[in-house]
Amino acid sequence: MSDPFIPGIISSTDLKTYRDSGVGMRVGFGAKTALLVVDMCRYIVDERSPLSCRFNGRQAVESISKLLAKARPVGIPTVYTTQRGSEPYTSATGGRLVNKAIPKLSAFAQMEEPHEILEELKPESKEIVIVKPKPSAFFGTQLTSILLFHRIDTIIVTGAVTSGCIRATVDSAAALNFRVIVPIECVADRFQTSHEVALFDMDCFLADVVPVQEVFDHLDNIDHDIYS
């Protein structure tokens, strides 16, 4: 298991507090794992989009694609999420997110094409796609029920954005007592600072933030029979 995730932007004072606190212990994988791909839609890598992840969106696409190629032959349950414009942001389902983040982007928010899952990560027929109304993939969706059906105790969380929907999803998953693994190369954000701070904070208290190679190694040694 890799060392805790500590980005270079953490100050020496905060680093001392971190080390004195004893947080950031490793949780590891449990008995049965699922893969979650959060909001990897067209707008994430489209530089014309006001919400694109220019910083590391393409890296996340490539890394998630490799992770899917590893996970699918094993039979690991995979769930995707999206936020289709016609549903979350045009009614009360969008809630205060509309007021906080979308008021100047209403036209974009109502467009369907930007919210389509990227072709490079296109779900297979047996994989589930959830339309979520809020940042957390758990809020107002059947995700918990799906994971319980498959007897999942560990979730690999990938997608965008690190400090938004990923952080909210990880928080919900940890609150529900799932083990959570966040592969560093498989999450993207619009801002590098937000990305690194969110990863650091999640690694402190909620998840194991690890290099994607560590997830690859786990999948290479997993018992395929428990997913058959």
Question: Is 142 strand, coil or helix?
Answer: coil
Answer whether 66's CB lies under 8 Å from 60's CB: no
Q: What angle do CA 57, 60, 62 make, to 5 degrees?
A: 115
| Residues labelled as active-site residues | 165
Question: CA distances (Å), 100 to each of 36, 89, 123, 189, in order?
Answer: 26, 11, 31, 18
Residues 6+ away with beta carbon under 8 Å from 112: 84, 85, 86
The DSSP element (H or E) to which 210 belongs, if any, is strand 208-210
